[in-house]
Amino acid sequence: MKRVLVIGSGKRVREAALPAVLSRPDTWQLAGIRSRKPKTIEAAGAEHRVASFDEDGGLAGALASVDLVYACVSKGAVPSVLGQLEAAVRQTGAAVDLLIDTPVLLFKHLSSYRRFAAFHQVWVAEDMWSLPWVDTIERARETLDLGAPKRLVLSRSAYAYHGLALAKTLLDEWCLVAAKRWRTGVVPPGEPKSGETTYERRLTFAGGRTCEVSEPRDYSLGGFLLECERGAIADRPGHPGAHVLEPILDEGLTADAVPRWLGFRIGKVETHLAPHEVKLFGEAEGSSVIARMDALKRVGFARLFDRITDGRGAYPLVEGVDDMWVDYMLEKLGRWRATPLTSARSGLARGLMGSLTSLAGKLKG
């Protein structure tokens, strides 16, 4: 049994982290919830008391017998909270692991990267990497002999650094070498987010694999196409010759009931959700896989905890920081290229992170 201390009490904690932890009482125990102010929140059908950072011996006291800290606070509060957690860990000498939410750090806060050294292991809570249908795609590529992935199109189905993580996962390639972002127009009248500026991103990976991302994200309209050496996979019909990723629904319910999602199917390849994941997913309103992304990410979050339980760890810290870094540069400059000074994957760049805060100030605005 592993014990987890939750830092934060916002929507992400209430709707994803707590339901995920509480769905596995056989492997995870909630050791407490801490936030800046004491309060009571509701999550997973129950009320939970949130203690302040200073109560009951402070964070040092809260770390007693804790295996993992999950931290999810506002972006601007991360350096302060990370500093308090670092001090508590060093005071107690505890070998505590940390799971920190995306985007880990803002670019202007990169000097806080050194604080992660206080923890035993550090991972990122990037649930786009552990979506339950990723397994289905990996098995389909092998079973259907589709070959290696070559090109991914994410049409309004991913956002910023999350899109980078999903592209790395589906393309089975972690080494991003260049990226570009440009304005394409506005969302047309009659569509959700009408009038909002539209953008296109092009990500180029080692070996020539590419990903095209259209923005803004809108799961209700979003989709994807993964082109491989000998075939393709899409989340809906309309792509000639592509195999379709579709849900496996509970057909035993009455006609007027909302069916449950039990798993996923690509041709003859099927994968199934575990019983606790079916419950965590909830009702299956909407037939498109991308349209149910919020529920799928909740299951993906639970799978992060499963991986930590199994000793496989979650999304790597350096990848999470690198995703943020690339996204920041695309937002500010519209382009990025990997060099020893522009990527968190570079040891030299990580060593200079304390100096990068001043660069963030120059790029501000």
Instruction: State the helix-helix crossing angle for 160-171 and 317-333, rounded to 10 degrees.
Output: 120
List pLDDT tens digits, range 190-234: 888 999 999 999 999 999 999 999 999 999 899 999 999 999 999
Distance CA 125, CA 68 (A): 12
> In the prediction, which pLDDT does 85 show?
97
Specify the pTM: 0.93
CATH node for 2-101: 3.40.50.720
Give the model's pLDDT for residue 364. Answer: 55
What pLDDT does residue 283 have? 73
Check residue 357 and give its pLDDT.
58
Q: Is the dihedral of CA 61, 65, 68, 72 positive or negative?
A: negative
Domain spans of the chain? 2-101, 133-309
Q: For residue 1, give both structure tokens.
A: 């049994």
Structure letter (DSSP) for residue 188: P
pLDDT of residue 286: 61
Q: What is the pLDDT along the chain (365 residues), one digit of tens a residue?
A: 999 999 999 999 999 999 999 999 999 999 999 999 999 999 999 999 999 999 988 999 999 889 999 999 999 999 999 999 999 999 999 899 999 999 999 999 999 999 999 999 999 999 999 999 999 999 999 999 999 999 999 999 999 999 999 999 999 999 999 999 999 999 999 888 999 999 999 999 999 999 999 999 999 899 999 999 999 999 988 899 999 999 998 876 555 667 789 999 999 999 999 999 999 998 756 668 999 999 999 999 999 999 999 999 999 999 999 999 999 999 999 999 999 989 998 888 888 876 665 555 555 54
Closest CA to 235 of 156, 160, 304: 156
Give the pLDDT score at 365.
Answer: 44
Q: Give the model's pLDDT for residue 354.
A: 66
Query: Which of 351, 303, 332, 214 has its CA nearest to residue 324?
Result: 332
CATH of domain 133-309: 3.30.360
- Closest alpha carbon to 114 in 363, 305, 355, 360: 355
